[in-house]
Amino acid sequence: MPSADWDGLRPPSPADTASSFDDDDLDDDEDDQVNTRMRPHWPSFRALLKLRGFRLDTVGDAVAFYRCSADGRIPDYFWVRHSGDVQDALCPDAGLPDNLFRGTRTCDNTKVVIKAVHLRSREFAVIRFLSTLRDDPMNHCIPVLDLIEVEEEELGFIVMEQWSSQLIDDEVPCCLGLFLAALRQCIEHGVFMHKHRIAHLDISLRNLLTDYKGHYAYIDYELSRRFDGTGSISIPAFRTTEMPPECELDGECPNPFKADVWALAVLILRACKLAGYYVPELIQLTRPMLSLSPDDRPSMEEVLYAFERMVPTVGDLSRLPDFQHTIS
């Protein structure tokens, strides 16, 4: 895994009930409150996390990280930021938002990222549900090691394996076959979520991680919603990374599942450009996914079916990237 800087550059794994996913009993203000980004006072929960087997990163951990880096040098700005701090003082990563903190699982030194969310948030409910289906081969949610509830604070901690956001390993070129296998995982998770009536609603490269062992995983379910199959699925005041055209005029998303299909097409095209591949068959695959009308887009299951039919027609899967091609 490529080396990276401590502050932001270092590479970032209950029962399903209707009430656990249902926001209908919340008014708009309360819904906004439980689904807004949390800013916990991390030192207050240090002991609790330790009891659950997780240790938050300290200044000493950061110093050790820098000393093991290529040049072994500790940046001057780090000493300025942590002047006067003892080695055991907590050391938040300046490159992460306040609701995320890096740490370690003490039993085996597995590196983790801990995310603080509201206990009644949609994200906590969705992650809880996805974690119960961890063994499903089409579930490519980041591995979740623990879900910790702090009832008195209405706070939940999602403890995830720390994977890398640097999807392309600069030292080991990715052949076309492995690149297509990665895209297949992205499509599979979309199929898996939609099968369970969950729309991710923020599919993008920035919400995709890898363990450099051939596995890719989705993160960030802050916008995700699960629908029970009754009533309207339209979402007002919709916002997302890859905004589909039907949502641009008034901000309303009439079909969240078809919005995911649009975003997945954009992810595929951006991934091709990032990896250095020009694959006409993939361009053709994404065209119906990018239809201006959501009704004209295929379902996620249809996308996977088309992808599986496409792969045998691509040609030499052992070829390496061709960086002279670009995607407009």
The whole-number pLDDT of residue 1 equals 35
The whole-number pLDDT of residue 9 equals 32
Where helices occur in 132-201 by DSSP H, the ranges are: 176-195
176-313: CATH topology is Transferase(Phosphotransferase); domain 1 (1.10.510)
Structure tokens at 238: 């919709």
CA distances from residue 44 to 47, 83, 262 in whole angstroms, order as listed: 7, 22, 42
Distance CA 157, CA 119 (A): 8
Distance CA 56, CA 105 (A): 9
Strand-pair partners of 148: 157
CA distances from residue 122 to 128, 129, 156 in whole angstroms, order as listed: 10, 11, 11
Where helices occur in 54-175 by DSSP H, the ranges are: 59-67, 76-81, 122-131
The whole-number pLDDT of residue 11 equals 33
Distance of CA 26 to the CA centre of its chain: 26
The whole-number pLDDT of residue 168 equals 84
Strand-pair partners of 159: 114, 146
Q: Delimit the domains of the chain by residue range.
A: 18-161, 176-313
Phi then psi dihedrals of residue 80, to 5 deg: -65, -45
Residue type, 267: L
Distance CA 135, CA 155 (A): 27
Strand 225-226 and strand 198-199: pairing? antiparallel
Where helices occur in the chain by DSSP H, the ranges are: 18-21, 28-34, 46-51, 59-67, 76-81, 122-131, 176-195, 256-275, 280-289, 300-310
CB distance 153 to 44 below 8 Å: no
Strand 208-210 and strand 216-218: pairing? antiparallel
The whole-number pLDDT of residue 327 equals 43
Which pLDDT tens digits describe the chain residue by residue (328 residues)? 333 333 333 333 333 333 345 555 555 556 778 888 899 999 999 999 999 999 999 998 888 888 887 788 888 788 878 877 788 899 999 889 999 999 999 999 999 999 999 999 999 999 999 999 999 999 999 999 999 999 999 999 999 999 999 998 777 778 999 999 999 999 999 999 999 999 999 999 999 999 999 999 999 999 999 998 888 999 999 999 999 999 998 999 999 999 999 999 999 999 999 999 999 999 999 999 999 999 999 999 999 999 999 999 998 999 988 764 444 4
CATH homologous superfamily for the domain 18-161: Phosphorylase Kinase; domain 1 (3.30.200.20)
Nearest Cα to 288, choosing from 271, 305, 311? Answer: 305
CB distance 129 to 195 below 8 Å: no
Nearest Cα to 127, choosing from 119, 47, 164? Answer: 119
Structure tokens at 74: 């500790």
Where helices occur in 35-82 by DSSP H, the ranges are: 46-51, 59-67, 76-81
CB distance 274 to 326 below 8 Å: no
CA atoms within 13 A on the CB side of 131: 20
The whole-number pLDDT of residue 33 equals 81
The whole-number pLDDT of residue 292 equals 97
